[in-house]
Structure 1
Amino acid sequence: MLLKNFTSDNRPNKTITLQNEFVVIGGGTAGVCAAITAARKGTKTVLVQDRPVLGGNASSEVRLWILGATSHMGNNNRWAREGGVIDEILVENMYRNKEGNAVIFDTILLEKVMLEENITLLLNTCVYDIEKRDENTIESVIAFCSQNSTKYILNGKLFCDASGDGIVAFKAGASFRMGAETKEEFGELFAPEESYGELLGHSMYFYSKREDFPVKYSPPAFALEDITAIPRYKAIGKDDKGCRFWWFEYGGRKDTIHDTEEIKYELWKVIYGVWNYIKNSGEFKDVENHTLEWVGTIPGKRESRRFEGLYMLKQQDVIEQQTFEDAIAHGGWAVDLHPADGVYSKLSGCTQWHSKGIYQIPYRSFVSKDISNLFLAGRIISATHVAFGSTRVMATTALCAQAVGMAASLCLEKGINPAEILTNGHLKALQNELNIIGQSIPGIPVEKQSNKIVTAKVESSSNLELTIIPFNGNWMSIATAAAQLLPFSAHDKYQFNVELDAKEETEIELQLRISENAKNYCPEIILEQQTIQLKKGKQYVSFSFSKTAKENQYAFVTFLANNKVSIRTSETRITGVLSVFNGVNKAVSNNGKQTPPKGIGVDTFEFWIPHRRPEGKNIAMEIFPAIKAFDVANIGNGFVRPWGITNAWVADLKDENPTLTIDWKEDTAISEIKLFFDTDYDHPMESTLMGHPEDVIPFCVQNYKIMDATGNVLVEKNGNHQTINTWQFNTPILTKKIVIELEHPSAHVPASIFEIICR
């Protein structure tokens, strides 16, 4: 037995000191992606999380879906889903958990972290203090784990604060802001005339389920009694659950850090009052068997401190899609601000203003201007209150934090501090290393000198020449205007044949549209318009346009709305080709057209958005001349997703054995091969609740093998579902040739590859 006699001294807790290179505070999506990225570059990393699970707002404790630039497929940001580690996580989650179970998502995050031998993970461990080496340098952070009564002293060379409230940056004395800047300070037209301290509030959710027997409900005494105190109470549905109640928000007029417990109690009051309303008000039918399955116990936070970095992102950068020399990521969520009164407000639950496309985010916004060895990540980065309305969402914060993890590894390798990446010529190396792992920084390709494939001759067994999108699908009403989005070649003029079915004699309006910015997918320019008379019944219609794009870019072959007409669709799906509709997605304030008030610095434009699979089929059509945007020459151009053009090699479906041959003139040493497949960057892959129609994206090549010049099989893969497949060889192979044989994903989807990197 253990017997300890009384002592008049305070007994110390067990203390463990850990020496690491990189310390990441906060285990949300940002912290997880920063830690994994750094660890995969060989950096010894500590990831410390104050909760029992990883994921932050995406975890089973809060259960908010992860979103970013794809915005529920409700904006004009095509192929915009975030790449790299966060893509790997979301693709894996869809494969194992397409139903969107938040508990399963917990295990996927935990597995990803635990598989990294360079990460030391500390759960239930709360950082509460720091020690400094000097006034501008952090020496260590101090944490306590309530589960093992252990104090941790975490020494590091570099630190990343991804804690949400910025505990490390705060304790270190870094400059921070809370609330809204004035319109005058940064020239933001959407900002207020006078600064204010109101913030976006916290939210908590609940899940319900149906039993096969009656369940009564007696509310706790603290439950909200007057449901009309919630102005939007009539929007409550008996079967709604989880983050569909994102607008159960409170705390915007309080201190969202120090008043969090008070805010939590108020949200519990709302939730249990709402459930009492659903169960006992008599306003809902068929709720006798409904019961509460889960209620959140910690609130999901939106906003608290924002820390000042070397650059502060502002509204104009988001809306006007400013470019930055030090771009390391992209955003694309709307500027999404909420009324301070939250659930009790009579105003709309949010105000979302979209840009016409994705925007770049600079590295400088992640480097503290005050603390020399501190990175900022997550929602605390250097951005104004208005710009924060876009950058705060989890897929965006995760993508940005990958850049932090990579930057930390580069700094440690070079023996420099974060700011010196900008001054010592290391920026391009950072950008390139990020792009090699799939970051897809807008407009910046993988550098040619880092890919041995550019010195080889690359040939294919076939290249898709798009002359027909087969007429093998069902009929689709064009009561909503529809368009086929196609990659046009500069100056080529195209003719089209489509099949229409008219209920009576009528006419159809056709338009050819393009984006003003060739890298956007916002069809605000109408190049040409024509009217075609239709007779009653099914008929083939031919038309052509005399005008076309002046550069290689996507164009919209557009059919304006006519509820008397249906158009034939196709079962065939092709990388870089999709249909879009002038539709509505109220989840992201999309009513078909964005019409902001004058003077707030936001554009007016139409939304042309895809439908989710299994809908969203291509429009069947014949095309002349053939669209030749899928050539093998795209391999090696450094882009790993569509960006103005397809950037993909696509095989012909008639090619029964699609093959790529990479031929060097002399023996070449290869230690790594990366293949970049198409997991549909247009699909948002919400991590929880939403659910998805498949576990493997239909464009993704699942089966392939790689051989050397002698036919020796280097790699054989069956059942792939991931975007990036990386094959490393302990001993570099020496060969003049690599041959890649692929299988088409299905009878209606040709094999495709965005990029191959050989190193």
Structure 2
Amino acid sequence: MITSGTTGDRAFPEVNINADLVITGGGLSGVCGAITAARQGLKVVLVQDRPVLGGNASSEVRLWILGATSHMGNNNRWAREGGLVNEILVENTFRNPESNPIIFDMVLLDKVTQEPNITLLLNTAVYAVEKKDEATIGALKAFCSQNQTTYTLTAPLFCDASGDGVVGFLAGAAFRMGAESSDEFGEKFAPSAEYGELLGHSLYFYSKDTGRPVKYIPPAFALKDITTIPRFKSFNAGDFGCKLWWIEYGGRLDTVHDTEKIKWELWKIVYGVWDYIKNSGNFPEAETLTLEWVGMIPGKRESRRFEGDYMMVQQDIIEQRTHADAVAFGGWSVDLHPADGVFSEKPGCNQWHSKGIYQIPYRSLYSRNIRNLFLGGRIISASHVAFASTRVMATAAYATQAAAMAAVICKEQGVLPAAVFHQGLVPVLQKRLQQTGQHIPGLALQDTEDLVQTAAIKASSEMVFTGFPGGAFPQPLQLSVAQLLPLPQGRISPMVFHADAAEDTTLEVELRISSRKGSHTPDITLEKQTIAVHPGRNCIQLSFNTTLEQTGYAFIIFHKNPLVQLHRTAKRLTGVLSVFNTVNKAVSNYGKQTPPEDIGMETFEFWCPQRRPEGYNIDLKYETGIQLFSAENIRNGTDRPVSAPNAWVADWSDAAPQLGLRWDAPVTIGHIDLFFDADYDHPMESVLMTHPETVMPFCVRNYRIKDAEGKVLAEVTDNYQTHNRVQLVEPVTTSGLVVEMEHPSAEVPAAVFAIRCYR
């Protein structure tokens, strides 16, 4: 029995937790940061003010996770983010191909709770900051509404990934809110006051077909006249979830302190929209639909942005400026929305893409005036225009992984965040990130600790691409298509393809490359040809007079002609794919980007893949063979296709593909890292969209590792992840290793991006 005592005796319990790093915000950014730091040995407290993890990606909001891949609607090939972002998206695709948001909640929770170094506090809101001095945070005060407990969270380092920057704000960190003028940074796309300075919130709904008529009576607060929304004709009975991203409001208000007011306005709109769909008589197909779910909290786009030692600007994104302290990348469009949201007469968004992915510098990931505060998620140091790209979840989480790894360096070196840059520790940070699968554009891993760097490498076979084996099938040229091929420096060899036609016609063929190394926008035309095609099957040889100055990807373009059927193949190959000049309205891709001259954006065409099972390769033959798939690639320090496949690929006919490593003297190995191909070109949207595969077709599923004497050290079956770490029970001393593997399928040969061995 519990007795009450006197009123003055009562207080909520207080719990003190000391850690190496406290991360505030349990969205995708906070989750990826927490796991990254915890796996490196830091004691991490992850504080989340909601009952689930994921933030805008959670079942509470239900926005899909996107980043540089942009729904495969831009020219950023093989651009899905690495590290924990990649691991989580691959895991979700494997467990949850239907993109159920409830299952995704579970995927995130499962990932976090598997880490013993993470203390997770759900339903716990930070409300105060205790400071050691003017520039140093000492502790956070937080309160959990469910257990009525107050927490004091003490650490030498803090990371604010809360979206609104609650820790940074309370700590006195320098921040901005609203747009900069075009004069401040020379950003030509800086918005006018008419357009507005803040992006608003969105709130979604889901509908369900019950199979029988369903009556709907709207609440009294529902918007009565949906025609007050300029785009009311865009509403239909079929769209739901984050396809309704444009139900947006609040950009003229304080997007922090007016959030509840904004939410109520969005509720009015949503319930009014559903009343319009159900009761206007304009949607007879909605008769059996019911409103299954409406968001309880809005998805936020923009509020505070904090100032670091470097503020990213429009030019960083569009020009892909290089930074010596690059630690991450982005690639979403510069995506601004009118501040009036759904009530604006203007289009719901204003997306302008760049020609490739861009670097994110470390100096943008810590506060310039609070010495022990890292910036995570969407609050990193960026102008309003640059923020329009860096704000999306996969990009924000990718940058937060870098901040978390920097916290590891700070702990190990006994320094504060800015010192990682100013004391020359960025190369250490970059190396640690790359070792865990973090791709940094323009930077290859230089890893002297990797024993593979001193090994002799021998493969059972190496792909020399002369063409795709097996049968081909014709498909009409309804769209212009290009085969994206990695070609070595030097003279381009003749190619052969087959085309069918019912009548005499011509086929326009082009050879193009990209003007920027490592990018995949075919904006330089090297040659054009017009080829006669006759009735029946045509075997056509393509000969180009071009000599390539450097190894890179070339686009063999076949322009649209429905009279021609081009032969395709069902075979797939790491680092090789077909792309199409097509339209993806979801990301403002209309085949060609033609911006106004005065906004600082570029004109170019979009050439994008089709989602499997479509997107077949063109059945091209390359007579002399492309020798860019050698075993040496597994130690070249780049673990995805960029200017070349960067992978070892076994020959199609190799019945037992394997890689062998041999050292002149025995070495001691404690763990082995392997990086396989889980298709970095697939966006793997986390909700709403379904996926035809649970495992990417390029990924090696089954392999075993043996030492020089043939003893099996590890055997893995049913793998589907990119990064496999094989931690040996006891270190092994041996003069060699052999990795035996199976081809993923008869259609796809085995491929490995990297093998690294450590003591």
Query: Normalising TM by the smaller chain, what interval?
Result: over 0.9
Secondary structure class of the residue paired with 1:86: helix
Which residue pairs with 1:58 in the alignment?
Answer: 57
Whole-Å separation in 2 of the counterparts to 1:220 and 1:5: 45
Question: Is 1:179 matched up with 2:178?
Answer: yes
Task: Name 2:473's counterpart in structure 1.
Answer: 474
Q: Distance in 2 between matches of 1:566 and 1:235?
A: 37
Give the aligned residue type for 2:451.
K
Contact 1:483 1:557 in 2 (8 A): yes
* Partner in structure 2 of residue 626 of structure 1: 625
Gaps of 5+ in 2: none
- Aligned to 1:188, what secondary structure does the other structure show? coil
Is the deviation greater in 524-533 or in 468-477?
468-477
Could you say which residue in structure 2 is the equivalent of 1:611? 610
Higher mean C-alpha displacement, 44-53 vs 237-246: 237-246
Report what 1:39 is aligned to. Answer: 38
CA distance in 2, matches of 1:53, 1:483: 44
1:386/1:10 CA distance change after superposition, 3 Å: farther
Which residue of the partner structure matches residue 2 of structure 1? 2
The amino acid across from 2:542 in the alignment is: F
SS at match of 2:629: coil
Where 1:575 maps in the other structure, the secondary structure is coil
* Matched residue type, 1:712: K
SS of alignment partner, residue 267 of structure 1: helix
Pairs within 5 Å for 1:264-663 = 264-470=263-469, 472-663=471-662
8 Å CA contact 2:334–2:388 kept in 1: the answer is: yes
Equivalent-residue separation in structure 2 for 1:352 and 1:660 (angstroms):
45
CA-to-aligned-CA distance 1:63-84 (integer Å, 9 cap, x gap): 0000000000000000000000
Q: Distance in 1 between matches of 2:437 and 2:124?
A: 31
Deviations 1:335-362 (A, max 9, x none): 0000011111111110001110000000
Measure the CA separation in 1 of the matches of 2:259 and 2:471. 56
Alpha-carbon RMSD: 1.2
**Partner residue in 1 for 2:257:** 258
- Share of identical aligned residues, percent? 58
Aligned counterparts, 1:133-144, within 5 A: 133-144=132-143
Give the match's secondary structure for 1:343. Answer: helix
2:660 partner amino acid? T
Alignment-mate amino acid for residue 276 of structure 2: Y
Q: Per-residue deviation at 1:714? A: 0.5
Matched to 1:2, the amino acid is I
Q: What displacement does 1:536 show? A: 2.0
- Structure 1 letter corresponding to 2:209: R
Q: Are the equivalent residues in 2 in contact too, given 1:471–1:568 (CA < 8 A)? A: no
Which residue is 2:28 aligned to?
A: 29
Conserved 8 A contact 1:336-1:350: yes
Which whole-Å deviations, capped at 9, do the CAs of 1:163-196 have from their partners, x for residues lacking one? Answer: 0000110001111111110111111111147799
Work out the CA distance in 1 between the residues paired with 2:753 and 2:123.
41
Count of matched residue pairs? 758
Q: Which amino acid aligns with 1:326?
A: D
Q: Tell me if the contact between 1:180 and 1:196 (Cα under 8 Å) persists in the aligned partners.
A: no
Match of 1:97 in 2: 96
In structure 2, what is the Cα distance between the partners aligned to 1:518 and 1:127? 45
Cα offset, 1:285, TM superposition: 2.5
Counterpart for residue 725 of structure 2: 726
Task: Please say if residues 24 and 160 of structure 2, whose CA atoms lie closer than 8 Å, have aligned partners that are also in contact.
Answer: yes
Please give the secondary structure, in 2, of the residue aligned with 1:569.
Answer: strand
User: Which residue of the partner structure matches residue 155 of structure 2?
Assistant: 156
Contact 1:307–1:368 (CA under 8 A) maintained in structure 2: yes
Tell me: CA distance 1:438–1:195, structure 2 relative to 1, closer, same or farther (3 Å). Answer: farther
User: Shift of residue 473 of structure 1?
Assistant: 4.0
Hey, what's the Cα distance between the residues in 2 that align with 1:545 and 1:10?
Answer: 88
Answer yes or no: is the 8 Å Cα contact 2:445–2:638 preserved in 1: yes
Cα distance in 1 for partners of 2:559, 2:616 equals 17
CA distance in 1, matches of 2:196, 2:124: 30
Distance 1:86 1:604 in 2: 31
Work out the CA distance in 2 between the residues paired with 1:78 and 1:182: 33
Specify the code of the residue in structure 2 equivalent to 1:703: N
1:128: which partner in 2? Answer: 127
C-alpha separation between the residues in 1 aligned to 2:5 and 2:699? 66
Q: SS state of the match for residue 528, structure 1?
A: strand
Q: Indicate yes or no: 2:84 matched with 1:85.
A: yes
Residues 517-575 of structure 1 show CA distances to partners (whole Å, capped at 9, x for unaligned) of: 12110000000001001112332221111114210000001101112112111010000
Letter in 2 for 1:462: S
Matched residue, 1:242: 241
Amino acid at match of 1:6: T
Q: Name the SS for the 1:85 alignment partner.
A: helix
Cα deviation, residue 442, structure 1: 0.9
Residue deviations 1:479-524 (CA, integer Å, cap 9, x gap): 2110000000001322111111223211001110000112110000
8 Å CA contact retained: 2:191, 2:197:
no
In the alignment, the residues of structure 2 paired with residue 143 and residue 245 of structure 1 have an alpha-carbon distance, to the nearest angstrom, of 34
CA distance in 2, matches of 1:417, 1:20: 16
Per-residue CA deviations over 1:294-320 (Å, capped at 9, x if unaligned) read 100000000000010010000000000
1:425 deviates by: 2.2
Distance 1:178 1:24 in 2: 22
Where 1:448 maps in the other structure, the secondary structure is: coil
359-368 or 439-448, larger mean C-alpha shift:
439-448
In structure 2, C-alpha distance between the alignment counterparts of 1:418 and 1:473, rounded to whole Å: 56
**Distance (Å, rounded) in 2 between the aligned partners of 1:628 and 1:231:** 57
Task: Measure how far apart 1:446 and its partner are.
Answer: 1.6
Give CA deviations for 1:256-286 in whole Å, capped at 9, x if unaligned: 0011001001111111111111111111132
Deviations 1:717-750 (A, max 9, x none): 1100000000112431100000000100000100
- Displacement of 1:367: 1.0
Aligned residues of 1:180 and 1:195 also touching (Cα < 8 A): no
Structure 1 Cα separation of the partners of residues 528 and 655 of structure 2: 40
CA contact (8 A) 1:453 1:756 kept: yes
Please give the alpha-carbon distance, in whole angstroms, between the structure 1 residues aligned to 2:604 and 2:661: 44
- The question of whether the paired residues in 1 share the 8 Å contact of 2:196 and 2:339 is answered with no
Q: 2:49–2:122: 8 Å Cα contact kept in structure 1?
A: yes
Maintained 8 Å contact 1:321/1:359: yes
Residues in 1 aligned to 2:449 and 2:56: alpha-carbon distance in whole angstroms = 37
Q: Is the 8 A contact 1:569 1:620 kept in 2?
A: yes
Query: Do 1:160 and 1:374's aligned partners in 2 also have CA atoms closer than 8 Å?
Result: yes
Shift of 1:656: 0.2
Contact kept? 1:470, 1:621, Cα under 8 Å: no
Greater mean deviation of Cα atoms: 66-75 or 528-537: 528-537
Which residue of structure 1 aligns with residue 187 of structure 2?
Answer: 188
Shift of residue 756, structure 1, vs aligned partner: 0.7
Distance 1:341 1:471, change over 3 A: farther
- The answer for the alignment partner of 1:664 in structure 2 is 663
* Per-residue Cα deviation, 1:630-663 (whole angstroms, up to 9, x for no partner): 0111111111001211100000110000010000
| Structure 1 partner of 2:216 | 217
- Structure 2 CA distance for partners of 1:747 and 1:471, relative to 1, 3 Å: closer
- TM-score for both structures, normalised by structure 2: 0.99
Q: Secondary structure at the match of 1:450?
A: coil
**More off after superposition, 192-201 vs 378-387:** 192-201
- Give the match for residue 106 of structure 2: 107
Contact in 2 for aligned 1:471/1:569 (Cα 8 Å): no
CA contact (8 A) 1:374 1:418 kept: yes
